[in-house]
Structure 1
Amino acid sequence: MKVVVLGGGVIGVTTAWALLRQGAEVTLVDRQNGVAMETSFANAGQVSPGYSTPWAAPGIPLKALKWLFQAHAPLAIRPDGTLFQWRWMAAMLANCSADRYAVNKERMMRLSEYSRDCLRAWRGETGIEYDARSQGTLQLFRSQAQLDAAARDVAVLQDCGVPFELLDAAGVLRAEPALASASAPIAGGLRLPNDETGDCHVFTRRLAELACVQGMTLRGGCTVQALQGDGQRVTGVRVVSSAGGEGELLQADVVVLAAGSYSRDLLLPLGLDIPVYPVKGYSLTMPLSDASRAPQSTVLDETYKIALTRLGDRLRVGGMAELAGFDLRLNPRRRATLEKVTRELFPGGDLTQAQFWTGLRPMTPDGTPLVGATPLNGLYLNTGHGTLGWTMACGSAQLLADVISGRQPAIRTEGLDMGRYGARGATSRPGRLAAA
């Protein structure tokens, strides 16, 4: 079986690896010259199944209104000139009920828990090293109100059988001793001991190297022009090299679209409209000047929605969300917020040497990614993971490889594919494939 995977981030590379392990002949295509050079390059570093939580939650609409007027708010909205942005936000608001939150969180946790198990298995098989730590995630609450509100998440964790520890202030300091030097108030925390951390970029690059050794063809520096087919089935992909020249047709039995935020535009000419929007995030990566004042694992500041992660001798500080389309400019106001949280919680990072980065996270309105088949034969999706691409990557890849090969997946697939948005996605419109 010939498979072309579009997208060289952690989702595309893990998908290629899972398919290779099942005997497929795989070609991986990415517009960058190397893998994991965009959204997977400098994310927050969390592998956090226990914190797989939809952004669409009860109370979020009111919080979002307040955030719009705060200097260091976790959310910013700038009109991008498209109707799709407003449709996407409306769909997200529609998912902010308690019932939808419970459904969406269960789907996300189902996939995330499985994905962590797959990651551990692959790590054992391959011996890949990527600054991995298995010391859990601590969600930090600065106020009693935040601690009280954790009851909703605790209930879902209990229903899903996920281990957790609800901590008071003293318990937080036992879990992360460096917080003793924090200047911010600490009311308590929610610790998820089974969560992990690691450098997504390093993992993805090394897995791609192994995949190439085992026969994967990597086509870097290639832009997708169009998906090819006969009107009912996708049969290949037309690409053009960044070096120039005419387009080239890559024929395939199966095409997997794992192009992150750019997946939607590739599908629109086919009459498929998936609600995947680019949510912009930021990070700082810096060397540690004082390891005694740095986290042991990941601390997630609930107030600012910012994660601070230990990656070997570095500190990664990442988070926030901008709804601003495909704008990749670095906003100094976001850097100021990241620096503020770093100084307040873990001043052991050397901010004078921090590298500032931004990336576009492909997000669905309900938080659950799109993993599975499409109405077009031979075309499959693995996209829309939002802030949890690193968390969900290995499980999404293995599940999709099983679906493609006709094997029984290890977990339920209900609610994970694009079918939950209707037969052809968010809207139904006529479209046709480019002629082969």
Structure 2
Amino acid sequence: MKVLVLGSGVIGVTSAWYLARAGHEVTVIDRLEEPAMETSHANAGMLSFDHSTPWAAPGVPFKAIRWLTQDLAPLYINPKAIDIRALGFLVRMLGQCTSSAFTVNKERMLRVARYSAECFKVLREELPLHYDGRQKGTLELFRTEKDLAEAGDNVAILERWHIPHAVLDVDACIRHEPALAHVREKIAGGVLLPGDETGDCRKFSLALAKACETLGVTFLMNTSVEAIDTGNGKITGVRTSTGTLTADRYVVALGCESPRVLGGIGIHLPIYPLKGYSLTMPILDEDRAPQSTVMDQKYKVAVTRFDHRIRVGGIAEIAGDNKDLPQQRRAAIEFVVRDLFPGGGAVEVAEFWTGLRPMTPDNVPILGGTRYDNLFLNTGHGTLGWTMSLGSARFVADLVSGRSPDIDPAGLGVDRYR
């Protein structure tokens, strides 16, 4: 079959890979000149297979109010961005901040993330992809004894879901991340998630795109999606800036653009563009740089090690489609890397970047079929696009191919929002 994939971020590229592996004739279209130029370009660099958890959780609304009063905080709201779309998203997300909703959403996220972890292991055995990948886990770092004591609820969740973990004292944290010895007095302990991984998402996406091309996948870049045509319960074509393209089946992997494109054919997705930021810098001193990912639990900022660089990512900002780079946001994430890894990276020359994460109210991606027989969705992954990419892509590729997927599809489709 001919399959048209809309979007060439990590979700679109991984979708193309599995579809091509299944024997389909695959074309990927994107309005930019290369794959992985937007949200996949400079994310935090984490593969959070075991760290996958809903942002919408009991107690979060009260924490959010406190965060909004802090100068250095994980959440910001741009008053100019508060419109019907933002308010609707916030209300729906608040509705998910219950114990019962958290349990349902956590299970769905872990179902996809754990499947994706298996897919990553298989892919590394099949392809010699070079993306600064490391398999050394994530260290959740707590700055005070009080914060460490309050982590008991999170540890209980890890135990409930049988997630491998270890509670570490200060000495154990330093054994895992030796550079922390320079700031010993600033930490109280941590929780290690050994199953998590790290790497450069854009490098991964570009390398996999090259592998896709060897399987015959065509990438039509500089091609904007303008509208989708329908007829008799099916998609009949996609109107683009270079003409109308047709296929037997279609996969939408457009991230934050998905609601705009699909709204025209009556599919309304509750996806909001949650803004995030990152810094990428060369390493100055190996002894003062992290070895994997350190997540500062106070500020929700991740400091991640690549081969010769450090990536610092964090912040959730309600800002609409705005992609400005305000210096106060840079200062917020810059503080963490300077404070925990002083002298480790060349902060002064760091690349400052922002991207829009396609967030759903329940933080679960939207995967699978639609009311149109030949239209499938692979979108809405929020902060976990790379983490869930291979699992989501293989799941959707199986559905496109008419095969039963390896994981239960219940609760992953768009129909859960009806």
* TM-score for both structures, normalised by structure 2: 0.97
Per-residue Cα deviation, 1:22-53 (whole angstroms, up to 9, x for no partner): 01111101110100011001101000111101
- Which residue, 322, 325, 328 being the options, matches 1:327? 322
Q: Give the partner amino acid of 1:187.
A: A
- Which residue, 286, 304, 314 being the options, matches 1:309? 304
Cα separation, 2, equivalents of 1:195 and 1:292: 22
> Where do residues 155-194 of structure 1 align in structure 2 (5 Å cutoff)?
155-182=156-183, 185-194=186-195
| Range that drifts further, 188-197 or 225-234 | 225-234
- Give the SS at the match of 1:27: strand
Cα separation, 1, equivalents of 2:145 and 2:92: 31
> 1:180: Cα distance to partner?
1.2
Cα separation, 1, equivalents of 2:175 and 2:315: 27
Partner of 2:382: 386
Partner of 1:429: none
Q: Give the partner amino acid of 1:298.
A: T
Q: Give the partner amino acid of 2:247.
A: A
> 1:197: Cα distance to partner?
0.4
**Does the 8 Å CA contact 1:235/1:378 hold for their aligned counterparts?**
no
Per-residue Cα deviation, 1:379-409 (whole angstroms, up to 9, x for no partner): 1111111111111100000111111112221
Partner of 2:399: 403
**Does the 8 Å CA contact 1:183/1:344 hold for their aligned counterparts?**
no
Cα separation, 1, equivalents of 2:162 and 2:236: 42
Q: Give the partner amino acid of 2:322.
A: D
**Does the 8 Å CA contact 1:236/1:253 hold for their aligned counterparts?**
no
> 1:105: Cα distance to partner?
1.2
Partner of 1:29: 29
Cα separation, 1, equivalents of 2:160 and 2:205: 32
Partner of 2:410: 414
Partner of 2:8: 8
Per-residue Cα deviation, 1:336-364 (whole angstroms, up to 9, x for no partner): 01111011111201112111000001000
**Does the 8 Å CA contact 1:102/1:156 hold for their aligned counterparts?**
no
**Does the 8 Å CA contact 1:33/1:221 hold for their aligned counterparts?**
yes
Cα separation, 2, equivalents of 1:320 and 1:218: 32
Asked if 1:375 is matched to 2:371, the reply is yes
Cα separation, 2, equivalents of 1:375 and 1:155: 40
- Give the SS at the match of 1:222: coil
Q: Give the partner amino acid of 2:91.
A: A
Partner of 1:94: 95
Per-residue Cα deviation, 1:170-198 (whole angstroms, up to 9, x for no partner): 22112111111127621221111111101
- Identity of aligned pairs, percent? 50
| Range that drifts further, 152-161 or 214-223 | 152-161
Q: Give the partner amino acid of 1:372.
A: G
Asked if 1:356 is matched to 2:344, the reply is no
**Does the 8 Å CA contact 2:135/2:196 hold for their aligned counterparts?**
yes
- Give the SS at the match of 1:280: strand
Q: Give the partner amino acid of 1:190.
A: V
> Where do residues 29-428 of structure 1 align in structure 2 (5 Å cutoff)?
29-78=29-78, 79-80=80-81, 82-182=83-183, 185-241=186-242, 248-347=243-342, 348-422=344-418
Q: Give the partner amino acid of 1:165.
A: A
* TM-score for both structures, normalised by structure 1: 0.93
**Does the 8 Å CA contact 2:141/2:191 hold for their aligned counterparts?**
yes
Q: Give the partner amino acid of 1:357.
A: W
Q: Give the partner amino acid of 1:387.
A: T
Cα separation, 2, equivalents of 1:183 and 1:330: 32
Unaligned stretches of 5+ residues in structure 1: 242-247, 423-436
Cα separation, 1, equivalents of 2:145 and 2:410: 37
- Give the SS at the match of 1:50: coil
Cα separation, 2, equivalents of 1:281 and 1:408: 35
Cα separation, 2, equivalents of 1:298 and 1:258: 27
Over 3 Å counting, the alpha-carbon distance change for 1:315 and 1:26 in structure 2 is same
- Give the SS at the match of 1:180: helix
Q: What is the RMSD of the two structures over their aligned residues, measured on CA atoms?
A: 1.3
Cα separation, 2, equivalents of 1:388 and 1:103: 17
Cα separation, 1, equivalents of 2:184 and 2:145: 17
**Does the 8 Å CA contact 1:106/1:156 hold for their aligned counterparts?**
no
> 1:378: Cα distance to partner?
1.0
> 1:110: Cα distance to partner?
1.3
**Does the 8 Å CA contact 2:21/2:215 hold for their aligned counterparts?**
no
Cα separation, 2, equivalents of 1:236 and 1:26: 15
Cα separation, 1, equivalents of 2:369 and 2:152: 36
- Give the SS at the match of 1:4: strand
Cα separation, 2, equivalents of 1:211 and 1:409: 21
Over 3 Å counting, the alpha-carbon distance change for 1:163 and 1:304 in structure 2 is same
> 1:158: Cα distance to partner?
2.5
- Give the SS at the match of 2:23: coil
**Does the 8 Å CA contact 2:256/2:273 hold for their aligned counterparts?**
yes
Cα separation, 2, equivalents of 1:133 and 1:308: 14
Q: Give the partner amino acid of 1:381.
A: L
> 1:80: Cα distance to partner?
2.1
**Does the 8 Å CA contact 1:184/1:345 hold for their aligned counterparts?**
no
- Give the SS at the match of 2:172: helix
> 1:151: Cα distance to partner?
2.9
Over 3 Å counting, the alpha-carbon distance change for 1:181 and 1:231 in structure 2 is farther
